Amino acid sequence: MTDPFDIDLELSDEEMHLYSRQILLDGWDIEAQEKLKLANVLIVGCGGIGCTSAELLARAGVGKITLIDADSIEISNLQRQIAFSHADIGFYKAEVLANRLRQINPHIHVESYNLKLDRSNAAELIKMQDLVLDGCDNFSTRYLVNLSCKQHQVALISASAIGFQGQLFMVEGDAPCYECLFPKQDSTSEQQDNDALRCADSGVLATTPNVMASLQAHHALLYLGLGLTPLKQKLLLWDGLSMKQRIIQFEKDDECPVC
């Protein structure tokens, strides 16, 4: 959590008004909103999923949001990455998104890193967080985020979207992790390279990553404000063609090198 001596624990009158529709909810009160204000969240990847998740958390009142992404904005991103416009092409995604979040909510603190999350910085970025949201399109990064979150006991909500389909799950505490669900050793190097290529270059409908990002952000608010973990040890599968959603439970892999 953020150092309580560095932030006003109580909501200001303006914040009370800004978040009034949440505070009016049955089951969500001022205490839940104050928990959001004190929360630190790292968002890995500022693409289709990260843009929407970050904006929703900023509007909801998450006190500190850290963004990391090494990529610059390209015209092909504009179809689904809602934070960006033609004027932003060529600029760093994390930087542009951070500026947008500050405009949306001046009551929150936003940091951005125009870097790839790797072994040199993962531990330092993750260990002080209350929650990590992973929406990147790179499998090696997903495995690294999972490993660092488990090592530092930081909750992780991971979302992915390809084509018309998406997946979402949570790793928290002693729950099974990403590598339990998708064992790295089951794939050859060539297969992993092909998977990474599909993730980066395959088609995706404009709405698919935004649906998954909304579900990811919703789960994040439930966790940060109310301590709920509905997708802990469960995998949500969303099919955008049939509009069907399934939730399946998965178990810890006894041979998982991370767990």
The whole-number pLDDT of residue 197 equals 45
DSSP 137: S
Asked whether 146 and 156 are in contact (CB, 8 A), the reply is: yes
Element (H, E) at 51: helix 48-60
* The predicted structure's pLDDT at residue 5: 40
The pTM of this model reads 0.92
* Inter-residue contact 201 to 216 (CB < 8 Å): no
pLDDT tens digit string along 86-99?
999 999 999 999 99
Domains and CATH numbers, the chain: 17-249 (3.40.50.720)
User: Given 3-state DSSP classes, what are the helix, strand and coil percentages for the chain, each rounded to the nearest 5?
Assistant: 45, 20, 35
pLDDT of residue 184: 85
Can you tell me the distance from the alpha carbon of 54 to that of 159, in angstroms, rounded to the nearest whole number?
Answer: 13
pLDDT per residue over 97-141, tens digit each?
Answer: 999 999 999 999 999 999 999 999 999 999 999 999 999 988 999
| Per-residue pLDDT tens digits for 5-56 | 445 678 999 999 999 999 999 999 999 999 999 999 999 999 999 999 999 9
Mean pLDDT for the chain overall: 92
Can you give the C-alpha Rg of the chain in angstroms?
18
- Mean pLDDT, to the nearest integer, of 158-168? 97
Residue 2, pLDDT > 50, answer: no
CA distances from 14 to 25, 34, 58, 132, 186 (A): 18, 14, 15, 28, 52
What's the pLDDT at 118? 96
170 alpha-carbon distance from chain centroid: 10
Q: What is the rounded CA–CA span in Å between residue 83 and residue 225?
A: 25
CB atoms near residue 46 (< 10 Å): 31
Tell me: the pLDDT tens digits for 178-201?
Answer: 999 999 876 544 445 545 444 556
Amino acid 200: pLDDT: 56
Q: How many residues does the chain have?
A: 259
Q: Can you read off the two tokens belonging to residue 110?
A: 């936003």
> What local confidence, expressed as pLDDT, does residue 253 receive?
93
* Rounded distance between C-alpha atoms, residue 61 and residue 99, angstroms: 16
